Amino acid sequence: MLKLYHYWSSVCSQKVRLALAEKNLEFASQHINLFDFEHWSPDYVKLNPKGVVPTLEDDGRIVIESNVILEYLEDRFPAVRLRPQDPYEQAMTRIWIYNSEEIAHHNVNTASHNPRHAVRHKAKHHTREEMQAIAARCPNPIIARRFLQRIEHGVSEDEENQAYAALDYLLEMMEGALAATAWLAGNRYSLADIAMAPFINRIEVLKRPEMVSAARRPRIAQWWQHVQDRPAFKQAFSFANPDKSDPLQR
Ligand SMILES: N[C@@H](CCC(=O)N[C@@H](CS)C(=O)NCC(=O)O)C(=O)O
């Protein structure tokens, strides 16, 4: 039995939901509300000592890190293959999985703070002291420091600009890769596409959606349409926000 601990709009959770849907795998869903800080509760931290989502449980065995979960699902449930057979295409798959972690994730996270994360924190009406007490519960010193820094100062314009510059650079590489093949690692949809798709979805609702527009990056725009046309995409992204008080619903 598979169980996924995830948050509806978390890009890392969306990757895993995409792979589960492509592989037609059923799973029990445990929504972890990041803005009620459920990911720092003692019970959840026992599963995921980093205090982040997603976490996959497979018959009592725990796997963390979205990209590791993608690889795990591929090896454990190979009936629907999402890793190419060709060694070069496998290498390209690993590059895009790596890019999703090295470049996409933390820069999208930075760019998401002011328009998305801060808005939700504000809607919860915590006092500064309450937020500091919440940070003290975070098991991960890297995330706790970032959290404290952001509740005090937000994300500066300069940090945002740097994040967008990194994303622009990544998108340019992606546009280049899609000149050669229909999908990121070859002519078949793969874990490479799954690792990147949630970031394109997110960029569309941030401050510079033109970065992925058809006018600016026609190959990415076409690829993104093809991703969204997949039934598994529709299934994975139909997971609605259970928190109806959340000001954001995409
Ligand atoms: N490298 C990790 C990153 C996990 C991660 O940072 N997840 C985000 C959501 S996409 C999270 O839980 N953030 C909570 C926080 O920063 O407080 C993975 O890919 O699973």
> What does the DSSP assignment read for 114-175?
IIIIHHHHHHTT--HHHHHHHHHH-S-HHHHHHHHHHHHH---HHHHHHHHHHHHHHHHHHH
- Substitution site in 39, 40, 53 for ligand 1 pocket (most atoms within 8 Å of beta carbon): 53
Overall CATH class of domain 87-232: mainly alpha
pLDDT value of position 169: 98
pLDDT value of position 106: 96
Residue ranges of the chain that CATH labels 3.40.30.10 = 2-76
Q: Is the CB of 16 under 6 A from ligand 1?
A: no
Residue 212, token pair as written in the block: 């992925």
Q: Is the CB of 11 under 6 A from ligand 1?
A: yes
| Ligand 1 geometric centre to CA of 60 (Å) | 21
pLDDT value of position 249: 85
| Ligand 1 geometric centre to CA of 38 (Å) | 13
pLDDT value of position 237: 97
Q: What is the pLDDT along the chain (250 residues), one digit of tens a residue?
A: 999 999 999 999 999 999 999 999 999 999 999 999 999 999 999 999 999 999 999 999 999 999 999 999 999 999 999 999 999 999 999 999 999 999 999 999 999 999 999 999 999 999 999 999 999 999 999 999 999 999 999 999 999 999 999 999 999 999 999 999 999 999 999 999 999 999 999 999 999 999 999 999 999 999 999 999 999 999 999 999 999 999 998 8
pLDDT value of position 250: 86
37 Cβ partners below 8 Å, 6+ apart?
A: 134, 137
pLDDT value of position 103: 98
Cis peptide leading into residue 242 (ω within 30°): no
The residue behind tokens 């003290």 is 136
Chain centre distance of CA 162: 19
- The atom of ligand 1 lying closest to the CA of 53 is 12
Residue ranges of the chain that CATH labels 1.20.1050.10 = 87-232
- Substitution site in 14, 52, 145 for ligand 1 pocket (most atoms within 8 Å of beta carbon): 52
Q: Is the CB of 100 under 6 A from ligand 1?
A: no
Rg of the Cα atoms in the chain: 18
Range 2-76: architecture per CATH = 3-Layer(aba) Sandwich (3.40)
H or E segment and range at residue 196: helix 191-203
Q: Is the CB of 39 under 6 A from ligand 1?
A: yes
Instruction: Give the residue, by CA position, lying nearest to ligand 1 atom 20.
Output: 65
pLDDT value of position 233: 98
| Ligand 1 geometric centre to CA of 179 (Å) | 31
pLDDT value of position 59: 98
As a whole number of angstroms, the distance between CA 41 and CA 119 comes to 22
- Substitution site in 8, 9, 12, 63 for ligand 1 pocket (most atoms within 8 Å of beta carbon): 12
